[in-house]
Amino acid sequence: MPQGIALIGEYTPDFEPHRATDAAIEHAGASLGMGISATWLSTADITPTVLERYAGIWVAPGSPYRDLQNTLWAIRHAREHRIPCLGTCGGFQHMMLEYARNVLGLADAHHAEYDPYASRLFISELACSLAGQEMPLYFDEGSRTAEIYGGTSAVERYYCNFGVNPEYIDLLTSGALRVAGSDHEGEIRVVELPAHPFFIGTLYVPQARSRPGRPHPLVLAFAEAALSRQTSVQS
* Ordered domains of the chain (ranges, CATH): 5-234 (3.40.50.880)
**Given this model, what pLDDT does residue 135 score?**
94
Q: What is the pTM of this model?
A: 0.96
Q: What is the pLDDT of residue 35?
A: 85
For residue 173, what pLDDT is reported?
87
- Measured CA to CA, the distance from residue 42 to residue 60 in angstroms comes to 11
Q: What is the pLDDT of residue 234?
A: 62
CA distance 115 to 193: 28
Predicted pLDDT at 3 = 82
Burial class (CB in 10 A: 0-12, 13-18, 19+), 90: buried
| Average pLDDT per block of 10 residues along the chain, 235 residues long | 91 95 97 92 94 96 96 97 97 97 96 95 91 93 97 96 93 92 93 97 97 97 94 69
Give the strands of the sheet with 109-111, arranged side by side.
Answer: 109-111, 120-125, 162-164
pLDDT at residue 235, rounded to an integer: 53
Q: pLDDT for 6-56, tens place per residue?
A: 999 999 999 999 999 999 999 999 999 988 999 999 999 999 899 999 999
Nearest alpha-carbon partner for 133 in 60, 192, 183 = 183
